[in-house]
A and B are shown apart, each in its own frame.
Chain A
Amino acid sequence: MSIPRTAKTTTSDLGPLPPASSVRSNDRWLKLAAPFLVGIIFLGGWEAAVRIMAIPPYILPTPSRIIETLISDWPTLAASLRITLAITFSALAAAVVVGGALAILFTQFKWVELALFPYAVILQVTPIVAIAPLIIIWVNDTNLSLLICAWIVAFFPILSNTILGLNSADHNLRNLFELYGATRWQTLRYLRLPAALPYFLAGLKISGGLALIGAVVAEFVAGTGGTASGLAYRILEAQYQLKIPRMFAALTLISLAGVAIFLATSIIAHRLLHRWHESAIKREN
């Protein structure tokens, strides 16, 4: 049914598509080089300062000493890292499932939100350090109690962001769905969930870091009394034994794990949003 004119108009008023993310290699190089350079200067300064002032390793070890310890103690530290990461990721997964499901439930049934949301807020604002001892006493399984603590810290950003996202679908698009007699399920699937995705992913970025913090804090509280042997436990242990380089090594691993989680969630967000969402698009101007 094409009309004779269409071909002409297509080429004239439509113009070419904007170029797919033009590669500005200079920018990209700087983006990697600048933080790397800062890191080198910082670590070099640290190394030099400790050596020149002859600070003993039980006060402040040199970066080279920390790396040495990281290598020599690797079997112990790796096992602990695995435990901490297992708790972190289980908690994050639980936060995604429970936070996401509650968000959908809350937006589908207003009365559920009215009834439960205040308790979600209470859970969120109560400091985890204060309730962790109780949870550890109540729950027999130490790993499970740590997981619960990490989950409590991690789930709220996902919940509140996803609720915001589910409610942020464009008003006219909602009218359009109404016009075509969309069912509640269709509106959820084709409109509200996709609209909520950027918000959910922003929540996931925050929760990824929080899950790790929650896991570490809970381990600290469980402390030597617990049977777990995650990285926080290694820090406590090293502190008691004045093995300060080992403490730093464990700390380094926690930081690296946090950075890795942040990068992973950022990559996921970019992958899912780069075709359409404002936040993930490079602009020329």
Chain B
Amino acid sequence: MREASAPSLAPVDPLIRLSGVSKTFSTGTRAVAAVDLDLMPGEFLSILGPSGCGKSTLLRMIAGLGTPTGGEIQWARGHGGGSRHGTRDLGFVFQDPTLMPWANALDNVALPLILEGSAKREAQAAARDKLALVGLSGFENAYPRELSGGMKMRVSIARGLVTEPSLLLMDEPFAALDEITRHRLNHDLLNVWRDVGFTAVFVTHSVFESVFLSQRIVVMAARPGRIVSTLDVAAPYPRDEMFRTSSAYASLCRQASDQLKLAMES
């Protein structure tokens, strides 16, 4: 256990540094209050908290969807993306798959590259690769409504990765899925993460999910949304079903659960 603003894990510069980031809506609600957080390159970080604790708002601010009303979000050199139309070095996976219903899986995944001005052929080739990465080879021509909930989420993740970003932000991506599908997607997501090596920020309200996936869990409390504690998950990867049933996993879940409970009482 340590404070979020404590020195970073290793002597490397963070990919992103949040200092005193706050968001107050025009209604006067303080959604996020003074968050300090360093995102280290290549780490898998979960933001765990009850609904309404501002975790989604925080994630959207990191993505540049909505600006903080206080504090600063600094990117490491070369990943910037401050300019209004310069794209940021990140992918975003929404809570819903958020696919274009009129386009097939391939065109949905290719969209970010098309928007960045890539040629259609190249964009589709990259999209094909990413669909294979998430296990959807052969579904290039399927339309979203022909895919199951889990498959749609895979397409959404492939789209988030198609620009080869340093950072993938995920906003409770598996919350609407059944548990079996969710477990499988957690598992495959970890494989893809280890394979590709991006920095992952995963917002969730599931203790088990956050422990299974991450190296570091940031626990947030509501009213106002703030970080109350940070938990390191030292278990090595690859993590599989064995890890899910291990005593280490159980005790980590207990710890995270306690932190969450404290957060909700505070």
CA–CA, A186 to B138, complex, Å?
A: 28
Given contacts A1-B132, A9-B135, contact A179 B102 (CB under 8 A): no
Interface residues of A in 142-189 (CB under 8 A from B): 170, 172-173, 175-183, 186
**Inter-subunit contact A179/B111 (CB<8 Å):** no
Say which residue of A1, A173, A178, A278 sits within 8 Å of B98 (CB atoms).
Answer: A173
Are A181 and B135 touching (Cβ within 8 A)? no
Complex contact B196–A176 (CB within 8 A): no
- Contact-residue size bin, chain A (C-beta under 8 Å from the other chain): 35 or more
A6 at the binding interface (Cβ < 8 Å): yes
Say whether, besides A172-B94, A190-B111, A10 and B135 are in contact (CB < 8 Å).
yes
- Does B75 sit at the interface, judged by CB under 8 A? no
B146 touching A18 by the CB < 8 A rule?
yes
**Chain A residue contacts of B147, Cβ below 8 A:** 14
| Contact across chains for A180 and B188 when beta carbons are under 8 A apart | no
Distance between A82 CB and nearest chain B CB, rounded to angstroms:
37
Beyond A5-B191, A173-B100, A197-B102, is A182–B143 a contact (Cβ under 8 Å)? no
A180: which of B112, B137, B142, B151 is its contact (CB, 8 Å)? B112
For residue A2, CB closer than 8 A to chain B, the reply is: yes
A284 within 8 A of B: no
- Please judge, given known A-B contacts A13-B150, A14-B139, A181-B87, whether A3 and B145 are in contact too, CB under 8 Å: no
Complex contact B191–A3 (CB within 8 A) = yes
A181 touches B188 (CB 8 A): no
A179 contacts which of B65, B84, B129 (Cβ < 8 Å)?
B65
Closest to B112 in A: A180
B112-148 with Cβ < 8 A to chain A: 112, 114-116, 129, 132-139, 142-148
CA distance A195 to B90 in the complex (A): 26
Bound complex: CA of A177 vs CA of B108, how far in Å?
12
Q: Which of A42-95 contact B (CB under 8 A)?
A: none
Q: Separation in Å of the A182 CB from the closest CB of chain B?
A: 5
Complex: how many Å from CA A1 to CA B63?
Answer: 26
| With known contacts A194-B102, A276-B144, A6–B64 Cβ distance under 8 A | no
Q: Find B146's partner among A3, A9, A17, A178 (CB 8 Å cutoff).
A: A17
The number of chain B residues with a CB under 8 A from chain A is 51
A238 to B15, CA, bound (A): 84
B44 contacts the other chain (Cβ, under 8 Å)?
no
For A172, the chain B residues whose CB sits under 8 A away are: 94, 96, 98
**A275 contacts chain B at the CB level, 8 A cutoff:** yes
Asked whether, in the complex, the Cβ of A6 is within 8 Å of the Cβ of B134, the reply is: yes
Per-residue interface assignment for chain A, residues 1 to 30, with 1 indicating a CB less than 8 Å from any chain B CB and 0 otherwise: 111011101100111011000000000000
- List of B residues within 8 angstroms of A18 by Cβ: 146
Q: Which residues of B contact A190 (CB under 8 A)?
A: 100, 111, 114-115
Asked if A186 meets B115 with Cβ closer than 8 Å, knowing A13-B181, A179-B64, the reply is yes
Q: Per-position contact with B for A110-145: 1 when CB-CB < 8 Å, else 0?
A: 000000000000000000000000000000000000
> Using Cβ atoms and an 8 Å threshold, which residues of chain B touch A7?
135
- A residues in contact with B184, CB < 8 Å: 9, 13
Known: A1-B196, A2-B132, A3-B191. A179 touches B148 (CB 8 A): no
In angstroms, how far is the closest chain B Cβ from the Cβ of A5?
A: 6
Query: Shortest CB–CB separation between residue B106 and chain A, in angstroms?
Result: 14
Whether A14 contacts B96 in the complex (CB less than 8 A), given A6-B134, A177-B115, comes out as no
Q: What's the nearest-Cβ distance from chain A to residue B212, in Å?
A: 16
A-B complex: 10 closest residue pairs judged by Cβ atoms: A6-B135, A172-B98, A180-B115, A194-B102, A181-B87, A181-B85, A276-B101, A3-B191, A182-B115, A10-B135
A-B contact list, 17 entries, CB within 8 Å: A1-B129, A1-B133, A1-B196, A2-B132, A2-B137, A5-B135, A5-B191, A9-B184, A14-B151, A175-B94, A176-B92, A180-B112, A181-B87, A190-B115, A275-B102, A276-B102, A276-B144
Which A residues are within 8 Å of any B CB, using their own CB? 1-3, 5-7, 9-10, 13-15, 17-18, 170, 172-173, 175-183, 186, 190-191, 194-195, 197, 275-278, 281
- Give B contacts to A, CB under 8 Å: 60, 63-65, 84-88, 90, 92, 94, 96, 98, 100-103, 111-112, 114-116, 129, 132-139, 142-148, 150-151, 163, 180-181, 184, 187-188, 191-192, 195-196
Known: A176-B94, A181-B115. 19 other contacts (CB 8 A): A1-B133, A1-B196, A5-B187, A5-B188, A6-B134, A6-B137, A6-B188, A7-B135, A10-B135, A10-B138, A13-B151, A170-B98, A178-B65, A180-B111, A180-B115, A181-B116, A197-B102, A276-B102, A278-B145
